[in-house]
C-alpha cells in the first residue's frame, strides 16, 4: 500500500549516499524488506524502475531479501518464528504472541524493517 512512498525514500536515500561519494552511477541496491511490512515486492520493483528513470540509478539492479518475522521471549530467551495456533472454527493458522517454548508473551524483534543494506556504485 505504501510501496510508492517507501520506494521514494529508498531512492532518495541511495541518491544522497551516492552524492556523498560523488558517484557517477549506481549499479546495485540491496534491500532487506521485513515480511511484516506487507510491502508488495512487485510494486516496489515497479516503483523503483519508475522513480530511478533519469537519475544515476537508472538501470541499477535491485536485490531484495525478505526478512521473516522473528519474536523474542524475555522469559526463556527463545528467539524464532511465531507460535501459530489453529482456529477450530475457521481452520486458519493464527500467529500469536505466545512463546513457542514457554508460553510467555513475546516481543516482535524482526520483520518490520525496510533497510537499505548496501549500495554498489561507480565513482
Residues 47-76 that bind other proteins (CB under 8 A): none
Does position 95 interact with other proteins (CB under 8 A)? The reply is yes
Does position 35 interact with other proteins (CB under 8 A)? The reply is no
Put residue 54 in one of left, alpha, beta given phi > 0 → left and psi -120 to 50 → alpha.
left
Task: Please identify, among the stretches 41-49, 51-59, 72-80, 110-118, the one whose residues bind other proteins according to the rule CB under 8 A.
Answer: 110-118
User: What does each C-alpha distance from 9 to 52, 58, 118 come to in angstroms?
Assistant: 12, 16, 15
State which H helix or E strand residue 20 sits in.
Answer: helix 3-20
CB of 66 to other proteins, least distance (A): 15
What is the torsion angle, in degrees rounded to the nearest 10, for the CA atoms of residue 103, residue 109, residue 111 and residue 117? -160
CB of 77 to other proteins, least distance (A): 19
Q: How do beta strands 93-96 and 79-80 pair?
A: unpaired
Task: Please identify, among the stretches 3-11, 44-52, 54-62, 73-81, the one whose residues bind other proteins according to the rule CB under 8 A.
Answer: 3-11
Which residues are near other proteins by CB under 8 A? 1-2, 6, 9-10, 13, 17, 21, 27, 36-38, 85, 87, 89-90, 92, 94-98, 105, 108, 112-123
Amino acid at each position: 500500500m505504501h510501496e510508492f512512498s517507501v520506494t521514494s525514500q529508498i531512492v532518495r536515500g541511495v541518491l544522497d549516499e551516492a552524492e556523498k561519494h560523488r558517484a557517477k552511477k549506481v549499479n546495485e541496491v540491496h534491500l532487506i524488506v521485513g515480511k511484516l511490512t506487507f510491502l508488495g515486492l512487485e510494486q516496489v520493483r515497479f516503483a523503483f524502475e519508475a522513480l530511478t528513470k533519469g537519475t544515476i540509478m537508472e538501470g541499477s539492479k535491485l536485490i531484495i531479501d525478505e526478512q521473516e518475522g522473528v519474536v523474542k521471549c524475555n522469559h526463556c530467551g527463545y528467539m524464532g518464528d511465531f507460535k501459530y495456533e489453529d482456529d477450530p472454527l475457521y481452520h486458519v493458522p493464527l500467529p500469536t504472541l505466545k512463546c513457542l517454548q514457554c508460553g510467555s508473551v513475546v516481543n516482535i524483534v524482526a520483520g518490520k524493517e525496510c533497510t537499505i543494506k548496501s549500495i554498489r556504485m561507480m565513482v
